[in-house]
Amino acid sequence: MEGAPTPGGNQLTEFETLMWHLERHPQLSSNIANLTILDRAPDRDAFTATMERASLVFPRLRQRIVEGPGPFSTPRWEPDPDFDITRHVTHLKLRRPSRAALHELAVQRALTPFDRSRPLWEFLIIEGLAGGKAAMLQRLHHTLTDGEGGLRLSLEFIDFTRDAPARPPVEAPPAPHTNWWSSMGESLERAARQQLDFARRTVDEVAHAVTHPTSVVETGAELVELARSTARQASVGVRPMSPLWTQRSLGRSFDTFDLPLAPAKAAATALGGTLNDLFVCGAAAGAGRYHDEMHAPADRLRMAMPISRRADKSLGGNVFSPTQTAVPTAPMAVEERFRRVHDVLAVAKGEPPVGSNDLLAGFINLVPTPVLTRAGVRIAGVLDFVTSNLRAAPMDVFMAGALVESNYPLGPVAGTAFNLTTMSYRGSLCMGVVIDTAAIAEPKRLVRCLQRSFADLLRAGGQPGEPDVSSR
């Protein structure tokens, strides 16, 4: 891993630049976070030293984003001249050793904006939990990496034994030299090249489509398919499908529960699909159940879901496609909903990969930031909820001598009503639910609805006994 390159070089990609600009509006925050429960407090000095080393392996941990001198220059990663690891590995003691207090601290800290003049990450060690346990809140800005990349980054600070030896030292990479006027020139050249390339390929593809209308599907031309994909996803409408979840705010609640992994996999197979099908089906059913209990039924709701396109072992960067689709939420047999969700996800996974999104992002970035953020809030507000499915280690892992007991993601709500993200670890699906409290009046009810819906899925998949869907 020594000397691992930073994906995208020193310049942000167009997609990362878009996220950077959108976050000017607080409702579009792209922070990703994870709450790790530990059997005891980790060794502070050892963990700080581990993260110091990780910042040398993954240089973005020591870098900040710096805006260019002109409106057309792309933001760049540059070393923070005052980098101090103790600003990023911090500690506190929980005043009230309760699950509710921990969740409140986690969601509030996760939402706290980063100092945009510093590296965009923080690992907070939390002591004072009941039974001598501890927790760690890991939060990173989405421009650093996506969820999958964050899991790969974790290999730099987790161990596979409690008394693992210290990692060998690594050398600091050479500091990159930045010429801002050259950077602005490169950005202008890139923008012009993109526009010319886009125009040229669009003309070619349109002309070909007119003269050979049956060949459009066969060729699979990137821009034609991008246009179709964009139209499909934009056609979801201009208002949320939910009759309840119409308001948005910065108020957040956070809750967790667990689903047994092996029974979930077995149930998914028995129902004719994948574990991700079961996960999304449970989210859709839970959202629908909530609406029914609140006497405001909804036949369908709009869901956003990132699809990983990462094919290498890189640590950072954002290699995913954001997709949106409508999922069935009306009352129906579990098996029928599962089949419908399976079909919906099959279409979503076939949408163009991130390269197309990066091309499109390059043109969107030419829009003035105030206009861009207003549009982002309006588009996000159309979506009802977000789901994401991540995989972690199947075996025990440790952090500076402390056993990781469970991992609960805090995915970005980003203008929707709630985010449900799951991370598989140690035989469990660890579910993290982040809820906009203005959109969803009864957060605890939503969590119970989700739990019941996952229990229904396990039973429908032939899992005997009472399914263990528990809160921790």
Query: What CATH number is associated with residue 142?
Result: 3.30.559.10
311-334: average pLDDT: 72
Domain range for 218: 182-232
Same domain? For 246 and 186 the reply is no
CB 152 within 8 A of CB 314: yes
Q: Quick check: is 115 in a domain?
A: yes
**In-domain check, residue 8:** no
- On whether both 193 and 317 belong to a single domain, the answer is no
Are 356 and 227 in contact by the 8 Å Cβ rule? The answer is no
Max CA distance (Å), the chain: 73
226 and 240 part of one domain = no
- Give the count of domains, the chain: 3
Q: Are 16 and 143 in contact (CB under 8 A)?
A: yes
Say whether both 195 and 150 belong to one domain: no
Handedness of CA 291, 292, 296, 299 (dihedral sign): positive
The verdict on residue 406 lying in a domain is: no
- Is the whole-model pTM more than 0.85? no
pLDDT beyond 70 at 177 = no
* Residue whose C-alpha is closest to residue 376's, from 24, 17, 14, 72: 24
Residues 220 and 252 in one domain: no
Q: Which residue has the tokens 């030419």?
A: 366
* 128 and 260 both lie in a single domain: no
**Looking at residue 202, what is its pLDDT?**
43
Same domain, 219 and 279: no
Residue 2 falls inside a structural domain: no
Share of the chain above pLDDT 70, in %: 69
Q: Tell me the average pLDDT across 434-442.
A: 96
Q: Pick from 232, 254, 270: which residue ends a domain?
A: 232
For residues 456 and 323, state if they share a domain: yes
Q: Pick 90 or 393 by higher pLDDT.
A: 90
Q: Letter for the amino acid at 385?
A: F
Check if the beta carbon of residue 58 is closer than 8 Å to that of residue 316: yes
Tell me, yes or no, whether 194 and 265 share the same domain: no
DSSP percent split of the chain into helix, strand, coil, nearest 5: 40, 20, 35
Q: Answer whether residue 453 shows pLDDT above 80.
A: yes
